Chain A
Amino acid sequence: GNSVTQMEGPVTLSEEAFLTINCTYTATGYPSLFWYVQYPGEGLQLLLKATKADDKGSNKGFEATYRKETTSFHLEKGSVQVSDSAVYFCALRALGGNTPLVFGKGTRLSVIA
């Protein structure tokens, strides 16, 4: 079946450090890929998405590129801020039929000043 594997946290970085959170997936065909972010005490909100191979999603300085050859969708940011502290979820949606999102387990990021 479809699945998402993302790096385990927690990840602790200093402000202005470079961030990478790895995400790989297993799915048939060409799924759509998403990164969601959950700030403390809140629900999830979409951070970025990509719907086909080689697409790059970007938002708020975060980027992720849909790599079909490596079945990956790693999240990157060049310079993190304290306000980026949150839990990040990678997710996929397979094409066709009624296909809800499949989520990874989440990676907690803490950014310290």
Chain B
Amino acid sequence: NAGVTQTPKFQVLKTGQSMTLQCAQDMNHNSMYWYRQDPGMGLRLIYYSASEGTTDKGEVPNGYNVSRLNKREFSLRLESAAPSQTSVYFCASSASSGGAGGDTQYFGPGTRLTVL
């Protein structure tokens, strides 16, 4: 099992450009998440998908869109990149997002994005 994979690992964009971050998991998990990590801010949830066919906003959704393409894949799109979106982006998955509350989230290796 590869777990959670993310592409690309690094990306540099100019202000106004668009791009899509890809995430896939091979653990048959129902729930998937996108976070951004900034110095001193911890991880902040951008969007999540509790199950295939559903998506919900997290703490910082502005400037982003997501697509749950199928059970395995959950992509994050920046339509018009801004310098404030310079960050490290992590995708994660879990068997479910609710229930007993003890489900572990598994993280990908991250995408380091710089917007000039």
Residues of A within 8 A of B (CB): 31-32, 34, 36, 42-46, 49, 51, 89, 93-101, 103-106
17 of the cross-chain contacts (CB-CB < 8 Å) are A43-B4, A43-B90, A45-B107, A49-B102, A51-B101, A51-B102, A93-B102, A93-B103, A95-B101, A96-B98, A98-B50, A99-B97, A100-B48, A100-B97, A101-B45, A106-B42, A106-B43
Category for how many chain B residues contact A? 20 to 34
Is B41 among interface residues, defined by CB-CB distance under 8 A? yes
A43 CA / B37 CA spacing, docked (Å):
10
Indicate if the CB atoms of B42 and A98 lie closer than 8 Å: no
Contacts of B89-116 to chain A: CB distance below 8 A? 90, 92, 97-98, 100-110
Which of B101, B102, B109 has the most chain A CB atoms inside 10 A of its CB? B101
User: Which B residues are in CB contact (< 8 Å) with A42?
Assistant: 109-110
Contacts A100-B33, A100-B58: A44 and B43 contacting too (C-beta < 8 A)? yes
Return the contact of B101 from the options A89, A93, A105 (Cβ within 8 A).
Answer: A93
Indicate if the CB atoms of A97 and B98 lie closer than 8 Å: yes
A65 CA / B90 CA spacing, docked (Å):
28
Contacts A43-B107, A98-B50, A100-B48: A32 and B101 contacting too (C-beta < 8 A)? yes
